[in-house]
Copies of this chain bind each other. A is one copy, B any other.
Amino acid sequence: MHLEVVGIGDPPLPKGAPQLVLQLLAGTLTPEEAEAIQQAVAEMRRIDWEIWEKTEGELEPVMRESWRGRLKGLYVITDPQLGGGHLTGARAALQGGARIIQLRDKAATTRQLIEYAQALRALTHDYDALLIINDRLDVAMAVGADGVHLGQDDMPVPLARRVAGDALIIGVSAETVEEAIRAEAEGADYLGVGPMFATATKPDAGAPIGPERLRQIKQRVSIPVFGIGGITLENARQVLQAGADGICVISAVLGAPDPAEAAHHFAQML
């Protein structure tokens, strides 16, 4: 192994800004030395984490501002049974103007999820759209998705943030004003609020909460809010008038005779 010096901050960071300098000097390794570098790397990771903890409060507004510009518009959740399956459905939705695709499949094995997610990652890149993975932070990290969506039965937001670091969008489902405020405080980047209206796609969803609840939530949080649940071309305007930054749909797009056309009609409203 060669002697190596790596400097971070070249070109230099702005005057007065923090500077990070990492120097690695490496010689030929004995097992003891290899163990020593292992410990040093572990220590560096610990300190890396400390840096993140100290700076997150100041970084978050910057990062969120850059994401916020993309956390809006038509958000389509794929379904293994609708629109020809995950890939075909997502492609039609993107052709019609969807800006965010969520992979949700509670029945798939992890191996299948990885395969779907890798294909959707390539597809969403082609359309400059965001890819969010439902529930499975490991799948999101493994395929380089933009984010993970966490329901109230999924991983607690602070744990997910700790595992994923600051480079992943975390979306959270919220039904009440209290859940919405807590999710934002815990570090959620956007909210999915619903069900807006009665829906048959997600049998475990609760009773509809209506657009008025979304309006109340919008008054109390600053992160983007999507309406979800039973939204159709007919009732979508009520959700937007309540202040939604975007609309999440499944069957209204993927169950339509022509999913791309249905997505296009939604996208025109947004």
Contact = CB atoms under 8 A, between A and B. Distances in A.
Tell me which of A19, A24, A37 has the highest count of chain B C-beta atoms within 10 A of its own C-beta.
A37
Contacts of A27: 16-18
Interface residues of A, number: 69
A13 B33 contact: yes
A155 B58 contact: no
Contact of A21 (B23, B112, B160): B23
A109 B154 contact: yes
Interface of A: 1, 6, 8-9, 13-14, 16-29, 31-38, 40-45, 47-48, 51-52, 54-55, 58-59, 61-63, 65, 109-112, 114, 135-139, 141-142, 152-156, 159-160, 162-163, 166-167
A114 B19 CA distance: 37
Given A41-B20, A45-B48, A138 B155 contact: yes
Q: Which of A1, A17, A29, A166 has the most CB of B within 10 A?
A: A17
A142 B209 CA distance: 32
Contacts of A38: 55, 59, 62-63, 166
A23 B19 contact: yes
Contacts of A6: 47
Contact of A24 (B20, B32, B166): B20
Contacts of A154: 109-111
Given A43-B8, A163-B138, A36 B13 contact: yes
Contact of A159 (B18, B142, B160): B142
A142 B160 contact: yes
Contact of A18 (B16, B25, B62): B25
A111 B160 CA distance: 11
24 contacts: A1-B55, A13-B33, A13-B37, A13-B40, A14-B32, A20-B23, A20-B37, A31-B61, A34-B55, A34-B59, A37-B59, A38-B55, A38-B62, A41-B48, A41-B51, A41-B55, A48-B48, A110-B155, A111-B156, A114-B156, A138-B160, A138-B163, A141-B163, A142-B159
